[in-house]
Amino acid sequence: MTTATHPLDPPADPFEVATRAAEDIARLTGVDRHDIAVTLGSGWGRAAELLGETTATIPATEVTGFSSPALAGHVGTLRSVRTPGGSRVLVIGARTHYYEGHGVRRVVHSVRTAAATGAKTMVLTNGAGGVKESWSPGQPVLISDHINLTADSPLEGATFVDLTDLYSPRLRALARGVDASLDEGVYCQFRGPHYETPAEVQMAKAIGGHICGMSTALEAIAAREAGMEVLGFSLITNLAAGISPEPLSHAEVIEAGRAAEGRISQLLADVIGRI
Ligand code: 8IG
């Protein structure tokens, strides 16, 4: 019997794999270096069209480390977009979630690859549950900080990375310059894929959390390690369990994302245009 292997499995060096992935992207897009990278989460999918001209779209399966020989199926696309201002944006529509269970190296590979393409800014977006009663489904908010509840880290060995101001105050101010009504909150990354119990949401609230999600925090840590400036947005697609009397439904989440998509995609494009 043979065991399926993946390019990121030890003893591979994940940074060397990211460098190879960046070379694949340069070859397949014809763009040697990217300036900004953005990961599109639930509800944010239309932003790419508004950012500028898409000069290349490539299946993520063509890029080293994004595909698993053991896993058939769809892992999304990567796009190269040129903004009206001439910046090159790498749009990542292929997020690997921690709950998939393939380990944190695969979760942060897109971020390390983005850094290896030259990107100095990492914009992370997601759909998430809101803990603040004042928020409504369909509302975008800025991530001001996070609480990583996965008990895991993308850093290996004695890599002591400072996470003060991880979510760049400069970029949050720039985003507020585009939309002064943007609120912000602390993002709690749960493992998922189940949603929280109402008691867990109360815990998140008690420890200072405002947003419940299943991505982003581990990616932000990897982006900081790589020296990137991080901007994070959550689309509140639902109130977290127990905050509203209604139970959570995946259909509700999808619908809130769809309804907000045009507006938040424009917001994201405007913010990225100013970076
Ligand atoms: I969309 O309520 C979405 N993603 N953990 N909790 C968590 N993740 C989410 C939620 C939520 N909504």
Q: Are strands 77-82 and 88-92 parallel, antiparallel or unpaired?
A: antiparallel
Q: How confident is the model at residue 1 (pLDDT cuts 50, 70, 90)?
A: low
Nearest alpha carbon to residue 243 among 102, 111, 83, 132: 132
Top pLDDT among 181 and 253 is at 181
Is 137 part of any domain? yes
Check pocket membership of 240 for ligand 1, CB cut-off 6 A: yes
Q: Which two tokens stand for residue 156?
A: 């290996």
**What does pTM read for this prediction?**
0.95
Check pocket membership of 271 for ligand 1, CB cut-off 6 A: no
> Which tens digit of pLDDT belongs to each residue from 128-156?
999 999 999 999 999 999 999 999 999 99
Check pocket membership of 187 for ligand 1, CB cut-off 6 A: no
Task: Give the domain extent around 127.
Answer: 14-274
CATH number at residue 170: 3.40.50.1580
Is 238 part of any domain? yes
Residues 6 or more apart from 110 whose CB is under 8 A from it?
37, 39, 66, 92, 94, 95, 96, 219
Check pocket membership of 130 for ligand 1, CB cut-off 6 A: no
Check pocket membership of 190 for ligand 1, CB cut-off 6 A: yes
When divided into structural domains, the chain yields a total of 1
> Which tens digit of pLDDT belongs to each residue from 221-266?
999 999 999 999 999 999 999 998 878 888 877 888 888 888 899 9
Q: Which atom of ligand 1 is found nearest the CA of 235? A: 1
Taking the centre of ligand 1 as the mean of its atom positions, its distance from the CA of residue 107, in whole angstroms, is 17
The pLDDT of residue 73 is 47
Query: Does the pLDDT of residue 68 top 50, yes or no?
Result: yes
* H-assigned helices in the chain: 14-29, 47-51, 104-116, 169-178, 198-206, 217-225, 250-274
Is 7 part of any domain? no
What is the DSSP secondary structure assignment for residue 245, as one 8-state letter? S
Is 3 part of any domain? no
The pLDDT of residue 2 is 61
Query: Does the pLDDT of residue 12 top 60, yes or no?
Result: yes
Is 4 part of any domain? no
Q: Which atom of ligand 1 is found nearest the CA of 42? A: 1
Is 1 part of any domain? no
Taking the centre of ligand 1 as the mean of its atom positions, its distance from the CA of residue 128, in whole angstroms, is 4
Catalytic residue positions, numbered: 196
Is 168 part of any domain? yes
Is 2 part of any domain? no
Residue nearest to atom 3 of ligand 1 (CA): 128
pLDDT above 70 covers a percentage of the chain that reads 96
